[in-house]
Chains A and B, each alone.
Chain A
Amino acid sequence: MSKITGWTGKMLRVNLTTGSIAVEDTMKYKDFIGGAGIGYKVIFDEVPQGTKAFDEANKIVIGVGPFTGTGVPCSGRTNITSLAPTNPYNAITDSHMGGNFGAFLKFAGWDAIIVEGASKTPVWLRIEDDKVSIEDASNLWGKGVIDTTHELNNVMGKEACIASIGQAGENLVHLSSIVNSVNHSAGGHGGVFGSKKLKAIGVRGTQAVHIAEGKGQEWLKLNEYMLKDIIGANNQHVVPSTPQPWAEYHDKGSRWTAQTALFWGAAEPKVETGECPAGDKNKVGLRTQKAIFDLGPVAEARTIKMGGCHSCPIRCQSNLKVPELEKYGLSGYATSTCIGFINPGTVMVNGFSDGEKQGEVALIAKSLGSRLADDYGIWSNYGQLGRDFKYSYQSGKLKEVLPKEEYDSIPWDLVESGDPGFLVEFYRRIALKEGEFSKLGLGPYWLDKEWNLGKEYWTGYGNNVWSKMAFPKHHSNEAGAQVGVLVNVMFNRDANSHTHMNMIGAGLPIEILKEVAGEVWGSPDALDAPNDYTPMNEYKAKFAKWSLDRNFLHDSITLCNWVWPMTVSPSKSRNYRGDTALEAKFFSLATGIETSEKELDLAAERIATMHRAATIKEMETIDMRNEHDIIPEWVFIDSKNPDAKPFTPGTVMLDREDMQLALTMLYKEYGWDEKTGAPTRATLERLNLKDVADELEKLNLLPK
């Protein structure tokens, strides 16, 4: 075998209790690829049962896979794995951020950082290539993300990438993030940093990331093939949103918004996105004019450009000129991650003062909220924070649970009148844990424990809460019927999975999508037409498993699951077929290990099963069907049409028995025990996880 590349081969282990810093060999985790895969195994092996997220015994693994830093398109991701404070069982989750951090970690020579223990005083971790030190962060504690980053850039130089928590993480707010490069945030684990008194990690790297020896030209060719023939726009939408002379299809929901006479209007001089037909690799970065997609036509004139992560040709983040923010003490520039604009919008429960959902006031409010949330390091919980506030406010719960003095101190007139200034109060109270109001930052499960939100909260379709794991739904029954539900069922936080959604929402006619489904999962019946569902079948189970496995693969390898996998393409000459083997092709070139799609899929299945095993260990039960994989009631109810029946046109409601069959079929696909949904010894051993089987057996957590 030729020299293994892609990985640096080295991981850092930093113990904040003892101050020790050690170097470990990444390759012992090679079967788990990287990122989340390594994270799940480390947490499973090393964190004792019963540990809570903010306990000193919890660990946090910040890792990347062999793709990040190698220039594979959309590989600028960092994966963060730890126990989650939002989860009812504090079970394992992984959060993810883009930006520059992951790639820079590789350039410094590291695949991952395992942080364990807890410091007594605030510290930050300084990584400059091989030189690693734990530094005093007393002067940074209490500062926001942007100031912290600026101060550390003054220490490490302007090129260093800093991942930091804001005040929310320091204050152990459950819904808190770790943020790098202004707006790239990993949600849910900021408080774990805070519990360890770890304010930030700064990385500066001057080293190379090697790809397979002698494969440079092949790498360039594969890159060209992907950019010309395969990749589309944000969320792998492969048709434009408007009719265009070159395009056979268009779909108004597509994020491929580029068109003639559409501009980055605040660029100097302004830049026309123009038509960006398939095949033109120099226009891929212009296809997604995300500002108008998120904020409406008013955003065009304020768009400076699109931003995004290291190595990504799909620029999905809007960089805007919003001078109105200066009124709130911020600079006149705004940007956001994808959820960042949506959540501040949902917090404004009474709309905006000009009455326009996509008007100027909405744009200012969303920009303001996005900047505040990123600076405080608050996680939106996939938009749930805004929905929880809405429910608590509109149901009268807030008035009931808040002390009168506190309730009266909140400027409700601002929210009532739709004034963006309300967001200043909203985010500050949560990040600084001011009063009872700040409990909104606990997340649904713990908030319900405190405020007793009631059955309506859990069952209301618009509330989106996934019982009983208490996370928000993320492309569920409305996205691929049973497939979307099965994807949501498997996680301990919102699914964060777009494998199925990107394909379903690509914009191609259903006939073509069904043909592709037939080729990838064995039958066109794997996919139903929107709102016209059929009962469960084995091909849907295969589609669901594939969606889950690719998601786990992407979080491990590390790739953006908002774009990958490439199930379809914008190329008419390819009959819109994508290339599901692209991960394996890049993997072979990145690592020098010739690997087939099938082999990589097996590794993905191993990682997915590892996640399941860790969850079982943490929940201390094998009965996942009844204890974990609970499907919320609203999946089986059509609130808009109470008389609707499942599997009739026009409804996305599903059938209870059919969904139990769906679970059984998914368990079968994985080779898990069909009664409980727990992996069997035979399956664990097939996936080279004998040590995991042994540990689970010792804990009496292996199906008989």
Chain B
Amino acid sequence: MFEREIEDFLEKLRTRREFLKVSGKGIVGITVTASVLNLLGCSNPDVGSASAFVTAKGILIAERNKCTGCQRCEMVCTVANDGKVHPLISRIKISRNFNYGDEITDNYRNEDGYFGNFLMTPETCKQCKEPKCAESCPADAISLNEKLGAWTVDKDKCVGCGACAAACPWHMPTIDPESKKSTKCILCGACAENCITGALKIIPWEEVAAMFTRKGYRFS
């Protein structure tokens, strides 16, 4: 079972990486299992509390058991990309999950958030296989940037209509009220680089390859 999980993951990974390198077609989403997370050196075998995404730079892992809600990822994101602090347009979202998790329920004192069990989930752009943000854009402003390996907004084309934000199932892109342009993650990595507990981290491809090789798996 374990072997099959790893092989399956590697197969998908190859395809995904090819996709990130060269084109926006022919990719399947990647489910990261507990076994794979362990193999990647992640201490978090509970996939319910860790999320992992394959990006151009490496594998981005967000572990909510380590997130302390300081919200510095949001600040660093917007200073790096926009030259200002603006959580609303941050490409990583944590503030909105801080108090009560996804939603307020009557049982809030026992559910996610600082008013509950203290757990909060950092949400990141998944750089989808078939991104709804790009599909919905009436100005064709969102396209795959091969250098960055990320779906990227062309500011000159963006009309700030908000269709991308509405179409994204996780509402990750946001329209900057000042510039009237869509803000969307370009995998700059500033959030992970500055996370104070390592709750967000990008494992570079070199390290991913080394880990798999060490365990006897072929990685190309």
Report A's interface with B, CB cutoff 8 A. 69-71, 100, 103, 107, 146, 149-150, 153-154, 158-159, 161, 181-182, 206-211, 213-216, 219-220, 223-224, 227, 264, 267-272, 281-286, 304-313, 315, 319, 321, 331-333, 335
Contacts and interface: CB of A to CB of B under 8 A. Distances in A.
Given A146-B109, A224-B194, A268-B46, 8 more contacts: A100-B98, A153-B100, A154-B104, A213-B83, A223-B76, A269-B65, A311-B72, A321-B117
A219 B79 contact: yes
Given A149-B115, A158-B100, A305 B65 contact: yes
B116 interface: yes
Contacts of B80: 216, 220
Contact of A181 (B76, B78, B114, B198): B114
Contacts of B96: 158-159
B69 interface: yes
Interface in B87-123: 87-89, 95-96, 98-100, 103-104, 108-110, 114-119
Main secondary structure of the interface of B (DSSP, over half): loop
Contact of B71 (A149, A211, A310): A310
A307 B72 contact: no
A309 B67 CA distance: 13
Contacts of B114: 181-182, 307
B138 interface: no
B95 to A, nearest CB: 6
A208 B68 contact: no
Contact of B118 (A214, A224, A333): A333
B194 A335 contact: no
Given A71-B75, A271-B65, A282-B198, A308 B70 contact: yes
A215 B72 contact: no
A319 B118 contact: yes
Given A158-B96, A181-B114, A211 B83 contact: yes
Given A281-B196, A282-B196, A315 B104 contact: no
A71 B116 contact: no
Interface in B36-80: 43-46, 49, 65-72, 75-76, 78-80
Contacts, number: 157
B104 A313 contact: no
Given A71-B85, A268-B46, A281 B194 contact: yes
B20 to A, nearest CB: 24
10 contacts: A100-B71, A153-B104, A158-B99, A181-B114, A209-B85, A220-B80, A269-B43, A309-B70, A312-B70, A333-B109
B178 interface: yes
Contacts of A159: 95-96, 98-99
Contact of A215 (B68, B83, B178, B197): B83
B162 to A, nearest CB: 13
A285 B197 contact: yes
B78 A282 contact: no
Which of B118, B178, B190 is packed against the most chain A CB atoms within 10 Å? B118
> Would you list the 5 A-B pairs with minimal beta carbon distance, nearest first?
A285-B196, A71-B75, A208-B86, A331-B109, A216-B83
Nearest to A332: B110
Interface in B173-220: 177-178, 190, 194-198, 201
B100 A69 contact: no
B85 A69 contact: yes
Given A215-B83, A281-B196, A158 B178 contact: no
B25 interface: no
Contact of A315 (B68, B75, B115, B190): B68
A306 to B, nearest CB: 6
Contacts of B83: 211, 213-216
Contacts of B104: 150, 153-154, 158
A213 B178 CA distance: 14
Contacts of B155: none
B72 to A, nearest CB: 6
B84 interface: yes
Contacts of B82: 208, 216
B68 A206 contact: no
Contacts of B78: 208
A282 B95 contact: no
B201 to A, nearest CB: 7
A161 B100 CA distance: 12
A209 B84 contact: yes
A71 B68 CA distance: 16
Given A220-B80, A308-B70, A107 B88 contact: yes
Contact of A271 (B66, B69, B88, B196): B66
Nearest to A5: B84
A216 B114 CA distance: 30
A220 B116 CA distance: 33
Contacts of A304: 117-119
Most chain A CB within 10 A, of B89, B116, B195, B201, is at B195
A100 B69 CA distance: 10
B115 A310 contact: no
A12 B45 CA distance: 49
